[in-house]
């Protein structure tokens, strides 16, 4: 059975579940609130604190064209991606200090980077491992960069098809990372219990030969306990001091007493106690977007023209980027397009398509 060290802890095998408190945007741009969350997470007994490392300019383009306006029934409808991420990001200058506070508590501190510059920043902090968010499961340039650190990687699989997960895992292994955790995730905010399909956890563990777990956007104990019953070794949930504080992620985040409740239930289950949970969360083996997740696919990263290009200009990392949203070619085609001449004049904030380039190869 797969087993390896994640930060300060052994995971997989017969080891207890590793629990992650996701700080995300629940600090509401208050450093003091971020510190308070870390203190509270330590008190309830989590193993790791996760942040997100991006700025509005590293994750998207500053555009109000239609593709950059959120819609689809999310809590953020009507806002531009750039504005939304301006509220949600965790300032980079905080992160070394937050890391020290977490480490002094004996907690692992790590992050989800969203572009290659964020990986460089986190390497300077010497984070022990990385998380790749569900939306970035198709961000091949980022996955390669992370894999080349050689550190363990946790990869969320919300919305991802079997083939997309297969490609991401192969990219990790081909570029130097062998210690991999796949998390079953429903990319809905909040997620419904019947969408969990936790039976997929056991299937992923067997087919990809990795440690598996769950990234949960529900409230309560049902998904974490159900996940452990399916062989999950890692549990990630968003942590908030008080949902009434508001914020872009608060509605699907768990308060301290709720976090402690699910952790106690998981421990009891692992000790053989009869812990009841809603069996609807087990569901079926399921890959790919379902229900409201289908709208979320549009907010994955893809290839965009980031500066105006004239016919004959050469595509380079200076004028195309892999950023949100997902209207352009998938990020795995970046290497195919770099170095190709543009076949037309192209405006800034235009999704990259095959008719813009002249290439004999469209596989990657």
pLDDT in tens, 224-240: 999 999 999 999 999 99
Q: Mean pLDDT across the stretch 322-339?
A: 97
| Residue 361, pLDDT score | 54
Cα distance between the two ends of the chain: 32
* Lookup: tokens for 213: 């777990």
Specify the higher pLDDT residue, 32 or 249.
32
| Residue 74, pLDDT score | 76
Cβ-contact 26, 240 below 8 angstroms: yes
Q: Mean pLDDT across the stretch 172-188?
A: 97
Q: Mean pLDDT across the stretch 200-220?
A: 97
Residue extents of the structural domains in the chain: 3-54+89-296, 298-356
CATH of domain 298-356: 3.90.1210.10
Q: For residues 80 and 282, what is the distance between their CA atoms, to the nearest angstrom? A: 36
Q: How confident is the model at residue 252 (pLDDT cuts 50, 70, 90)?
A: very high
Q: For residues 319 and 203, what is the distance between their CA atoms, to the nearest angstrom? A: 41
What global pTM score does this model have? 0.96
| The pLDDT of residue 359 is above 70 | no
Cβ-contact 176, 148 below 8 angstroms: yes
Mean pLDDT score of the chain, rounded to an integer? Answer: 96
Q: For residues 242 and 90, what is the distance between their CA atoms, to the nearest angstrom? A: 18
pLDDT in tens, 130-161: 999 999 999 999 999 999 999 999 999 999 99
CATH topology of domain 3-54+89-296: TIM Barrel (3.20.20)
pLDDT in tens, 58-104: 999 999 999 999 887 777 889 999 999 999 999 999 999 999 999 99
Question: Residue 321's beta-bridge partner residues?
Answer: 304
Contacting residues for 335 by C-beta, under 8 A, at least 6 apart:
364
């Amino acid at each position: 059975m797969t087993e390896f060290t994640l930060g300060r802890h052994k995971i997989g095998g017969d080891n207890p579940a590793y629990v992650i408190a996701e700080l995300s945007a629940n600090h509401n741009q208050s450093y003091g609130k971020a510190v308070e969350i870390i203190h509270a997470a330590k008190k309830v007994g989590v193993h790791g604190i996760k942040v997100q490392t991006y700025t509005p300019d590293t994750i998207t383009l500053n555009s109000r064209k239609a593709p950059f306006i959120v819609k689809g029934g999310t809590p953020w409808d009507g806002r531009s991606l750039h504005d939304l991420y301006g509220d949600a990001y965790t300032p980079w200058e905080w992160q070394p200090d937050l890391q020290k506070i977490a480490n002094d508590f004996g907690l692992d501190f790590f992050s989800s980077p969203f572009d290659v510059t964020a990986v460089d920043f986190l390497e300077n902090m010497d984070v022990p491992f990385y998380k790749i968010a569900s939306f970035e499961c198709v961000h091949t340039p980022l996955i390669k960069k992370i894999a080349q650190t050689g550190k363990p990687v946790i990869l969320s699989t919300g919305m991802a098809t079997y083939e997309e997960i297969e490609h991401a895992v192969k990219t990790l292994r081909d570029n130097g990372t062998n210690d991999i955790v796949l998390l079953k995730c429903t990319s809905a905010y909040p997620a419904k219990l019947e969408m969990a399909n936790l039976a997929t956890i056991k299937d992923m563990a067997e087919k990809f030969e990795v440690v598996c777990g769950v990234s949960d956007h529900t409230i309560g104990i049902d998904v974490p306990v159900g996940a452990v019953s399916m062989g999950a070794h890692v549990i990630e949930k968003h942590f908030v001091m008080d949902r009434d504080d508001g914020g872009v992620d608060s509605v699907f985040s768990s308060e301290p007493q709720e976090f402690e409740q699910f952790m106690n239930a998981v421990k009891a289950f692992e000790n053989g106690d009869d812990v009841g949970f809603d069996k609807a969360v087990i569901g079926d083996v399921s890959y790919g977007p379902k229900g409201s997740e289908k709208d979320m696919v549009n907010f994955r990263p893809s290839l965009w023209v980031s500066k105006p290009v004239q016919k004959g200009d050469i595509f380079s990392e200076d004028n195309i980027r892999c950023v949100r949203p997902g209207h352009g070619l998938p990020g795995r085609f970046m290497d195919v397009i770099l170095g190709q001449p543009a076949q037309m004049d192209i405006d800034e904030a235009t999704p990259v398509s095959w008719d813009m380039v002249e290439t004999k190869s469209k596989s990657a």
